[in-house]
Amino acid sequence: MEQKKYWKGLEELHNTDAHQEIVKNEFSEELPFESEGLLNATTPRRDFLKYLGFTTAAAAIAASCETPVRKAIPYVNKPEEITPGVANYYASSYSIDGEYVPLVVKTREGRPIKIEGNTLSSITQGATSARVQGAVLSLYDVARLRFPSISGTETTWAELDKQIGAALAGLGGAPVVLLSSTILSPSTKKVIGEFLAKYSNSRHVVYDAVSYSGMLQANEASYGKKVIPSYHFENAKAIVSLGADFLGTWLNPVEYSKQFAQTRKINAKKPEMSKHFQFESTMSLTGANADERYTHKPSETGAVALALLAAVGGSVTAPALDGRLKEGVAKAAKELKANAGKALVVSGSNDVNVQLIVNAINNIVGANGTTIDFASPSNYRQGIDSDMAKLVSDMNAGSIGAVLVYGVNPAYDYFESQKFVDGLKKVKLSVSFNDRNDETTELCKYVAPDHHFLENWNDVEGRPGYYSFAQPTILPLFKTRAIQDTFLTWAGNTAAWADYLKNEWVSKLGGQEGWDKALQDGIVEPATAPALGGASFSGDVAGAAAKINSAKKGGKYELVLYEKVAIGNGKLSNNPWLQEMPDPITRATWDNYACVSNTLAKTFSTQLGDDYEINAEKKVLKIKTNGKEIVLPLLIVPGIHPEVIAIAVGYGRGEKVGRAAAGIGKNAYPLVSYNGQTFDYFAIDATVEATGEKYPLGLTQTHNSYEGRPIVKETTLEEFIKNPKEVNEDRLELKKFGPDFRKDGTLYPNYSYPGIKWGMSIDLNTCFGCGACTIACQAENNVSVVGKEEVVKAHEMHWIRIDRYFSGDENNPEVVFQPMLCQHCDNAPCENVCPVGATNHSSEGINQMAYNRCIGTRYCANNCPYKVRRLNWRDWNGADSFENNLYDVADMNDNLTRMVLNPDVVVRSRGVMEKCSFCVQRLQEAKLDAKKAGHPLKDGAAKTACQQACGADAIVFGNINDKNSEIYKIRNEMQTERLYYVLEETHVLPSISYLAKIRNKDAAPKAEKEPAHKEEAHHA
Amino acid sequence: MYRRVSILLRKHFVSVLILCASIVIPFSSVKAAADPAKGKAIFQQNCASCHSVTKKLTGPALAGVEDRWPDKKLLHQWVHNSASVLASGDKYANDLFIQFNKTAMTAFPALKDEEIDDILAYIKVAAVPTASTPTPGGETGTAEDKGNDNSLLFGIITLVLAVVALILMQINSNLNKLAGDKEGVATADPVPFYKNKAYIAIGILLLFMVGGYFTINGAVGLGRQKDYMPAQPIFYSHKVHAGINQINCLYCHAGAEKSKHAMIPSENICMNCHKAIKEYSGPELVTAEGKKVNGTEEIAKLYDYVGWDPEAGKYTKPGRPIEWTKIHNLPDHVYFNHSQHVVAGKQQCQTCHGAITEMDEVHQFADLSMGWCINCHRTTKVQFADNNYYSIFEKLHQDIKDKKIDSVTVEMVGGTECQKCHY
């Protein structure tokens, strides 16, 4: 099979001069001398000796200072359940903005340090996402509000209650409005109800920053139910997504990743997988994983839906579409019809008419009751856009008495934020319960900060009857108060929230025992899952079609707003881990930008400039639409529609939300518009001009070059069924060395691994590139945050990166995600070159790194074919002997933030190399538990952080000497056809195997034109 | 002569008789009457949590208890079942009951009358204040090695030999000169040895080697704290607790079985015993500097920390933690797990902490250097046959069967690899 050409970016595809230069100089780095004077001094030798003498003396003095006296301070009265040094786990729940993720929280010495998914939940089955993993850091955010305040001055809760009580009483019947995002907690809603019942005309307005109102309203019009159904991707053989990024940001991606992955697991014995079509304007994470992907302008969204409806047999006429799109719709429709009853169409549109057409398609292809469940729908989003619009106009009319803001930030993310701000000024009483002094909270007179969810009790209802619970994992860090307690107090109910919730559930579950079990399990679910239920479709298809057909045609350029996988709607944006997580598609950190196609980029420059790909400095564009403008750097994203500009929301936060988020990127929410019914997250007529300025972006894509080596393997389903072994044909070449490449491919003796031999397998077919593993690893292993400036210098520290490769047509490329981490080679090139023996091999096959031996020569990193070793170029953690070396751009070294550090893993100091350790602390703990219990290590007892976080179970880890382990079975029984090792022919003997990607498509798309030059130009 | 003796015997018959009796009678009476030693054991097992011989605790001080009770039988009955005595309406018993806040005494129906008599005998003995100090139990101290160090002798011999060599070399050069003179060969005047380049070179080399040796040794030892023995906020004697009173180490350091930390016990653990033990009556306590320590005052310090009022018998103020000075410090980049060594490795605490039962003040016994750890891992055997965890090491099991090796050390199962302790 011919090796496909993969490229990380257009610079590599076109092999520009600058790309050749950067590949050539990949390992050289300007020394970070701050003064040039030293090197240019007239007597550099003498100066050198002087510096040498001084530093030696200084180091000697620093090192020989007296050993500090340390204290050991025991508890006065030790809590029974805490043993210092032993972790406790508590079940909890993540339900921010309507996402539903049951959790298990690891606490050490009373502080939460790591979040895992709760495997008992049948909905998420233990999956997590990057944002969920990062939530533990938000608990220790130094920008959190620490006390209640009135007009910006600290006050007591009693005083606040008194004043607000008086203010509420003095409203004179003017309505009280609670403005919140989607709340999944039934008991919280009950408390809110109790409070609101005290005031006439009061109401609860649900406002979702990124709204699904169109879907709710369309479902009401189609089925008479204003709900979002539950989706069952696992039952679908044909999936068509019309711009829904269900693996990245759509509704509850954690749940859908788990389901979707079940349809993508494949082996030669059962060569079946779902077929996934994606129609979208920008390049989303889901689009990148699609088998067939087609792009269209946002103004054509409705037309695509209509055409699909017509193609599956709906009684509408298909609007005109361009050739390729038309072909795609026909293909998708054919697949949907062929898999009727096992088909699913989802749409990311917030337009009622589009969603109604999608409902009609689903109705025809028999999705209702099979892949879409209306019997137990999802509660994930509840906001109706018109309610919010009405509230804002009511506020401006002066008819609202009080606005209580809980978990929303309309002054930042409402499309007409100024109108909201003006309205808020006309409201007599404004209260914010938000956790930080954000754009809205700043404007509220009273601030009554709520607990972080890890400090609070709660119940969360993802679907009716499916509950997950939250319990405090730490005492409140600050003088905050649970919002439920606040409402209970204001409602005159003297019960404490903890008791209130407990009483609710003790009576529901029939006793204390039931409640205890619910808290221990973290979930309560129906004993038998209720059967999936459909709903009868009665939508006005003709009406919707007419409205779609009469919609305005787009202008020259169109604009799409999207959520980034890591940052989402921006609520969690003051999270350095998430800010520094490279975006799965663009590989950019710390910013938002205008994503454009190569075609569009060329219009701002006569040719593809290296400044777009190699240099951090990017051309800045001014984009205008609907009378608003935004100035952002340009970033070329292969695969985006040529006439579309995509901008991420969630950036451009105010100065007071915290150091990591403040001043990063630009706020794109003002570009949202309101169509009288729902918010539109696109604009159909935009103008673009270059400002002539440049702005640096922290891109990680060009930091390493794989230099054209064959490291990704893929095939199509058709070919895999025909000849499963074909994808690994090149492995046969290794046979020339002898039957056992491990032994026969080398002159050196073969080492045996007598007890345990760790190994990992990564399935490229189910790695969707979401980045949950990256953040999980960062949390588990105290991986440092370096900041944008250092990312530009390729100094980012992530132990596991997800390489994204494009192949094929540069305007609609195929994408592969390949998680890359230390391969723990049994014949490791890094080990041979270390002059101090700081990295060497263990008898369990781990490539060990002894930080305290490392002197930072970087020989190992330069000799690593996988480029996974990371040097601490600066002192990110304050681990140096010299205090003032600390380099911290995001408050990661505040005593508060440092509470998130895993005490079992050291922080590394400057000048030390680090890399993935296979989470050796977890392996050691699992082994110790087995030793203490006196039985051999059980498969699954030791899990790496990345493996545990992966929602798609793409990572399998275990002892390959154990013939009953999953990893052994994958390697020797289940996946022998797809299994390969990256750069196996070099005989470095990696411990990580990959499973080749399989695309469910007819044939690889032909590149539209040949690349400008050939492979051999590549770094000879 | 014979007669005189017989007379003497006769004369002293009475006293001899008394003497013999005084030897024999106690012996015979021991068998029949109460045994204070037995009584002590029973007392400590059953009574000591509420009673002291000399002090009022939950129950009254027991000295003179036999005299206070009108009837020994009644006393027996009281011990067997105090409620029945109270029910009988005995005045003394009821008064006592009221005096002690109507706290009912635990019934001991299983105690035999003889055993109660043993206790009473012990109370009688214990009530008399004794001057003699109890001898500490446990092992004897390690014999100190003295005079085995020959380095001084060797040093002197080396020095003498060096001087002899120097003299011989001088003689040699002088003789050469004389021989030269005799044969008429002109030789240069001998260079004095302090100007001789060879001597200077040798001298510098020696200085460099000796200096280097001490510098490197000193540098390697930086941060090591062998024999570190800081003063602690409370003079807590491990010798008294773990040595004399034989309290199991794990009673206080409960974490050693479960966690990486052995755990300094929380104050509530101290109070488990010290609610009752208010005074120190053991052997005299002396600090390393030779200062005498009043044990009772040290117990009072604990009460102050924990907020306990021993008179009132209750907590009267909120407790404060005791800030002990940590003695055994490992660098941050070392992961050490107590439970690994205590439970999986079945090591004794003393292996690393020394004769802790002999230490009034704890000092660091081992230097806790990496070499020390590694040496132990090289020589210590794992529970290879007993712990089923090791069953996966099939090759090593085969080697044992084949008699290639007789046991498996920690090193053989990877115990000296970097990432067993550094991560």
**CA quadruple A91, A181, A133, A486: dihedral sign:** negative
Interface test with B, best of A69, A78, A844, A877 (most B CBs within 10 A): A78
Residue A142 burial class via C-beta count within 10 angstroms: exposed 0-12, middle 13-18, buried 19 and up: middle
Contacts of A719 (CB under 8 A, 6+ apart): A1, A726, A727
Write out chain A residues lying below 8 Å of B230, CB-based: 69
Closest Cβ opposite residue A74 in set B265, B389, B394:
B265
Residue B158, number of CB atoms within 10 A of its CB: 10
CB of A188 within 8 Å of a chain B CB? The answer is no
| Low-confidence residues of chain A: pLDDT under 70 | 1-3, 31-44, 62-66, 605-613, 881, 1003-1020
pTM for the model: 0.84
Paired tokens of A963: 């013939």
| Tokens encoding A715 | 């095939």
Long-range pairs, B14-20, Cβ under 8 A, ≥24: none
Task: State the Rg of chain B over Cα.
Answer: 36
Report d(CA A855, CA A836) in Å as an integer: 8
**B223, B258, B423 ranked by CB distance to A86: nearest:** B258
Give the contacts of B158 (CB within 8 A, at least 6 positions apart): none
Strand duo B292-293 + A343-347: pairing: unpaired
- Put simply, whether B268 touches A (Cβ < 8 Å) is yes
Q: What is the dihedral of CA A950, A94, A896, A771, to 10 degrees?
A: 30
Chain A stretch 850-879, residues whose beta carbon is closer than 8 A to a beta carbon of chain B: 850-853
Residue A739's Cβ-count burial label (10 Å; 0-12, 13-18, 19+) is: exposed
Please spell the DSSP secondary structure of A435-446, one letter per residue: SB--TTGGG-SE
Q: What 3 state SS string does A381-431 have?
A: CCCCHHHHHHHHHHHHHCCCCEEEEECCCHHHHCCCHHHHHHHHHCCCEEE
Instruction: Please tell me if residue B362 touches chain A, with a CB cutoff of 8 Å.
Output: no
Distance CA A86, CA A78 (A): 14
Domain boundaries, chain A: 6-19+704-918+937-999, 149-210+383-521, 213-378, 555-699
The domain made up of A213-378 is a member of CATH 3.20.20.70 = no
Q: Do A62 and A89 form a contact (C-beta atoms < 8 A)?
A: no
CB contact (8 A) between residue A924 and residue B335 = yes
Residue A219 in tokens: 């479902």
**Residue B281 has what DSSP assignment?**
-
The CA distance from A860 to A854, in Å, is: 10
Question: CA nearest B223 in A: which residue?
Answer: A67
Our CA-based measurement puts residue A576 at a distance from the nearest CA of chain B, in whole angstroms, of 24
Residue A260 CB burial class (10 angstroms; 0-12, 13-18, ≥19): buried
pLDDT value of residue A961 = 92
Closest chain B residue by Cα to residue A906: B333
**C-beta neighbour count of A317 within 10 angstroms:** 10
Give me the residue from B261, B325, B337 closest to A84, CB to CB. Answer: B261
Contact A246, A233 (CB under 8 A): yes
Distance CA A704, CA A708 (A): 12
Q: Do A849 and B259 touch (CB under 8 A)?
A: no
What value of ipTM does the predicted structure carry? 0.84
- The burial of B202, by beta-carbon neighbours within 10 Å (0-12 exposed, 13-18 middle, 19 or more buried), is given as exposed
Residues in B closer than 8 angstroms to A932, CB to CB, are 339, 343-344
Residues of A in contact with B268 (CB under 8 A): 75-78
- As a whole number of angstroms, the distance between CA A824 and CA A810 comes to 34
The SS3 call for residue A102 is strand
Q: Do A928 and B335 touch (CB under 8 A)?
A: no
Interstrand relation of A913-914 and A870-871 (parallel, antiparallel or unpaired): antiparallel
Give dist(CA A361, CA B231) in Å, integer: 81
Asked whether A403 and A431 are in contact (CB, 8 A), the reply is yes
Quote the tokens at residue A23.
């590949």
The one-digit pLDDT tens for each residue of chain B (423 residues) are 444 444 444 445 444 444 444 444 444 444 446 777 788 878 777 777 677 777 776 778 888 788 888 788 888 888 888 888 888 888 888 888 887 777 778 788 778 888 888 888 888 887 776 544 443 333 333 334 444 568 889 999 999 998 998 889 888 888 888 888 888 777 666 677 778 888 889 889 999 999 999 988 888 887 888 888 999 999 999 999 988 888 899 999 989 999 999 999 999 999 988 988 888 888 888 888 888 989 999 999 999 999 999 888 889 999 999 999 999 998 888 999 999 999 998 889 999 999 998 889 999 999 899 999 999 999 999 988 888 999 999 889 999 999 998 889 999 998 999 999 998
The residue count for chain B: 423
Q: How far apart are CA A969 and CA A963, in angstroms?
A: 7
User: What is the rounded CA–CA span in Å between residue A101 and residue A504?
Assistant: 22
Distance CA A145, CA A447 (A): 9
Contact of A963 with chain B, judged by CB distance below 8 Å, is answered with no
Q: Which residues pair with A490 in a beta bridge?
A: none
Closest to A851 (Cβ–Cβ): which among B260, B329, B422? B422
How many other CB atoms are there within 10 angstroms of residue B422's CB atom?
20
Put simply, whether A940 touches B (Cβ < 8 Å) is no
Partner residue opposite A843 with nearest CB, options B264, B394, B417: B417
The answer to whether A932 contacts B414, with C-beta atoms less than 8 Å apart, is no
A678 DSSP 8-state letter: S
Domain A555-699 class in CATH: mainly beta
Of B223, B230, B259, nearest to A86 by CB-CB distance is B259
C-alpha–C-alpha distance, residues A731 and A980, integer Å: 8
Residues in contact with A665: Cβ distance below 8 Å, sequence separation at least 6, in sequence order: A591, A592, A593, A632, A648, A651, A652
Q: Using H for helix, E for strand and C for coil, what is the string for B195-216?
A: CCHHHHHHHHHHHHHHHHHHHH
Alpha-helical segments (H) within B151-281: 151-183, 197-220, 238, 249-252, 267-274
Share the mean pLDDT of chain B.
Answer: 81
Nearest C-alpha neighbor of B372 from the set B214, B225, B230, B255: B225
Backbone angles phi, psi at A481, to 5 degrees: -140, 140
Distance (Å) from the alpha carbon of A131 to chain B's nearest alpha carbon:
26
At the topology level of CATH, where does A149-210+383-521 sit? Rossmann fold (3.40.50)
Say yes or no: A76 contacts chain B, CB-CB below 8 A: yes
| First-residue to last-residue Cα distance in chain B | 94
Measured CA to CA, the distance from residue B32 to residue B18 in angstroms comes to: 20
Nearest CA in chain B to A927: B389
Judged by CB atoms closer than 8 Å, whether chains meet at B389 and A931 is answered as yes
**Secondary structure (3-state) at A336:** helix
Q: How would DSSP label each residue in B279-290?
A: S--SSPEE-TTS
DSSP per residue over B50-108, as a string? T--SSS-SSS---TTHHHHSS-HHHHHHHHH-HHHHHHHT-HHHHHHHHHTTTPPPPP-
B392 touches chain A (CB under 8 A): yes
Q: Residue A135's closest CA among A96, A100, A163, A106? A: A96
Q: Does domain A6-19+704-918+937-999 have CATH number 3.30.70.20?
A: yes
Length of chain A: 1020
Burial of A63 (0-12, 13-18, 19+ CB in 10 A): exposed
Largest CA distance in chain A: 91
Q: Which helix (H) or strand (E) holds A275?
A: strand A275-280
Task: Please give the full DSSP string across A9-67, using - where no structure is assigned.
Answer: SHHHHHT-HHHHHHHHTTT------S-THHHH-SSHHHHHHHHHHHHHHHHHHHHTSPP
CATH numbers and ranges of domains, chain B: 2-31 (no CATH), 33-127 (1.10.760.10), 157-220 (no CATH), 231-327+347-367 (no CATH), 369-423 (no CATH)
Closest partner residue to B419 (CB to CB) among A72, A77, A842 is A842
Q: Which residues of A833-869 are buried (b: 16+ CB within 10 A; e: fewer)?
A: bbeeebbbbbbbbbbbbbbbbbebbbbbbebbbbbbb
Amino acid of residue B295: G
Rg of chain A taking only CA atoms, in angstroms: 29
Separation CA A90–CA A817 (nearest Å): 33
What integer pLDDT is reported at residue A1018 of this predicted model?
A: 42
Q: Which residues of chain B are within 8 Å of residue A961 when distances are taken between CB atoms? A: 392
Q: How far apart (Å, rounded) are the C-alpha atoms in residues A865 and A867? A: 6
C-alpha to C-alpha distance for A290 and A283, rounded to whole angstroms: 11
- With CA atoms as reference, the chain B residue closest to A60 would be B219
Q: What is the pLDDT of residue B260?
A: 92
Residue B148 is predicted with a pLDDT of: 56
Task: Tell me what pLDDT residue A706 has.
Answer: 76
